[in-house]
Amino acid sequence: MKPQKWRYILLAGVTISFSSYSIAKKPNILFIVGDDMAVSDIGSMGSEIKTPTLDSLAENGVRLSHFYTAPNCSPTRAMLLTGTDSHIAGLGNMGEFMQPEQRGKPGYENRLNERAANIAEVLKTSGYNTLMTGKWHLGKSEEHSPKAKGFDRSFVLIGGGASHFDDMVGWAQEPKASYREDGKLADVPTGFFSSEFYTNKMIDYIESSRPSDKPFFAYLAYTAPHWPLQAPDEWIARFKGRYDQGYEEVRRQRLDKMIKLGLLPEGVIPNQPMFSGLPTWEQLTDEQRRREARTMEVFAAMVANMDYQIGRLFTYLKKIGEYDNTIVIFMGDNGPAGNSPANLGGGAKWIAENFDNSEANMGRKKSFIDLGAQWAQVAAVPSPMYKGFTTDGGIHTPAIVSYPGMPNKGRIIGEVAHVMDVMPTVLEVANIPQPGKAFGGREVLPIQGKSLVPAIQGKKMPERVIGWELFNRRALRKGDWKLVMNDKPYGTGDWELYNLSRDPSEAHNLAASEPEKVKELHAAWDRYVQENGVILAVPKEKPGARTCQYGHCYQ
């Protein structure tokens, strides 16, 4: 009997790639994460940005149209690596917004804790070389670095964001970015550009582990296209003039393409309230339009460059004969970043005093610009809001699954999927058992995610309940129904109810007309809080507390 062979890629702003492998040889596993990428930022998901590497995966696979993450980066990454809820894994809240009643409580350590077994640990005990480059954001100290969490080799940005060039600029409270290689503090080299360097470093790590009978697990966590938006000049030049049409026209183009691709139903109307609360393209001055167009040119350059770097990695894996034996997962960590860092923690003053954001320098070294609320709404189309919110604009990212020989290539799967599902999916495909109650000399909680293999095979998944909470913003999805609570002015400040099968843009609040459904989902929410140890607290400051552009504020 011939050994079974598989090849597979899951992609998203998630892409899983189950690569060809014999059951006699364990597959390599590769996670790739883009930072602050929206549903429509990939060409095959609606974007005008050319992403041929990722698009080729879609052409030879299936797209998951309902893939969810957390509203922000580090909670998502904790769930990706553990398959458990972020309130279990240590990122119940982000450290920057931790409240007094949460500090020191289980699940609020602001680091990847020991309550769940992470995938690097699991794969290492299963005979894998474990490698990581890019953004960590799951613990600052050496004892909480990737080196201490099961990775054999690692070069990581410790915090949530930094300059993409070699000046190592961090953020207002930590002006110099910190990096660690194999647990020890490190500097980036002269000529550093984040996406290129992290790719080169990962190729070096894989190459240095050869020849070996061990497979590798590689976690490549890009910081693109997280602010500050920066890219090499030659990449920015590729998009010169592309966004002079403005917000409304680019949004229309993306929406039309998503409908044409079958990702959205005919007749869907965007529900994006900030388009009326903030200045339209016509209301901007000529200079403001140029600056906004330049901002999006830089963003697009970052996405296109990242796609190119992924292509380089795939080319290398093919050269060494490992691509067809590699499970690949590409995903975004949350929705687009519409919250300007200038509105957080003294950011406006720090940026004004330390950077050259002149029109000529935008996107270059020593500039510090961000996407802004209007472009973020374009990217999140048709959903309201963006990163930091529990509306679909903040938690819905694309997913594509591809493998050679797949029947009905190009189809779209509408099953609900979640970032917690990635770990159990990969373990099933690689024929590795999930960790038991006792693991690594400690007691661990079970994986909460579900394997997506049935959905990938075209089967119906059982109805499931998924909960969200971050910054006291809340949501719960059960089947087609979604319960949402966001603070004013972004929501009503009370529970809202939507039927996403009939209303994919969360435009029609049914809470008043469907009180029994609200009651049912609210009871499920209470169970979610209890089971995951959620500690509700109203933060004194949170992303989106005030959204302003050019003198107009949505607040």
Supply the residues annotated as catalytic.
73, 137
Helix residue spans in 127-244 (DSSP H): 194-208, 233-237
Using CA atoms, how far apart are residues 419 and 331, in angstroms rounded to an integer? 9
Rg value, the chain, Cα? 22
- HSE-up of residue 493 (Cα within 13 Å, Cβ side): 3
In Å, how far are 307, 319, 552 from 312, measured between CA atoms?
9, 10, 43
DSSP state for residue 533 in the 8-state scheme = T
In Å, how far are 34, 316, 350, 451, 510 from 478, measured between CA atoms?
27, 42, 43, 18, 15
Q: What token pair was written down for 425?
A: 């999916």
Neighbours of 1 (CB within 10 A): 3
Residue 64 bridge partners (DSSP): 399, 413
Burial class (CB in 10 A: 0-12, 13-18, 19+), 92: buried
Q: What token pair was written down for 535?
A: 């500690």
Contact (Cβ atoms closer than 8 angstroms) between residue 434 and residue 28 = no
Helix residue spans in 219-280 (DSSP H): 233-237, 247-261, 274-277
Contact (Cβ atoms closer than 8 angstroms) between residue 109 and residue 93 = no
Exposure b/e, 430-458, CB count within 10 A at least 16 = b: bebebbeeebeeeebbebbbbbbbebbee
Cis amide prior to 336 (ω within 30 degrees): no
